[in-house]
Amino acid sequence: MATATDGIRVLSPAGEIDHDTVQTLRQALDVTGITRPRIVVDMRRVTFMDSVGINLLIEAYKAVSKAGGWIRLAAPSEFVLRVVQLVGIDRIIACRPTLREALAP
């Protein structure tokens, strides 16, 4: 689920992000002790995300920002992008249409 590309942690969750599955992603998003973390969450295989996933992204954004880094979402499906836009996550976390664009400086 997690790889690194040029010092950027790339997370690739699949399926649903909800109460039953969020803990694995929460652990992968942990930036405790990391200075200036850079994270891309590749959302292309996420089929569903509820408020638990939204709250996790907000928590991750706050933690990463506090540590001087950034987090981006890559290739969200139409459904996930709509949820992200409806709640305004796209105003604080950059959403890019492809993984390549999310990894770009």
- pLDDT over threshold 90, residue 3: no
- DSSP states of 36-74 as a string? S-EEEEE-TTEEEE-HHHHHHHHHHHHHHHHTT-EEEEE
How confident is the model over 5-22, as a mean pLDDT?
A: 93
pLDDT confidence bin for 40, thresholds 50/70/90: very high
The distance of Cα 26 from the centroid of its chain, to the nearest Å, equals 10
In this predicted model, what pLDDT tens digit does every residue of 59-90 receive, in sequence order? 999 999 999 999 999 999 999 999 999 999 99
Per the CATH hierarchy, to which homologous superfamily does domain 2-103 belong?
Answer: STAS domain (3.30.750.24)
- pLDDT over threshold 90, residue 5: no
Confidence at residue 6, expressed as pLDDT on a 0 to 100 scale: 81
Confidence at residue 91, expressed as pLDDT on a 0 to 100 scale: 97
pLDDT, averaged across the chain: 95
Give the Cα separation of 84 and 54 in Å (integer).
Answer: 8
pLDDT confidence bin for 1, thresholds 50/70/90: low
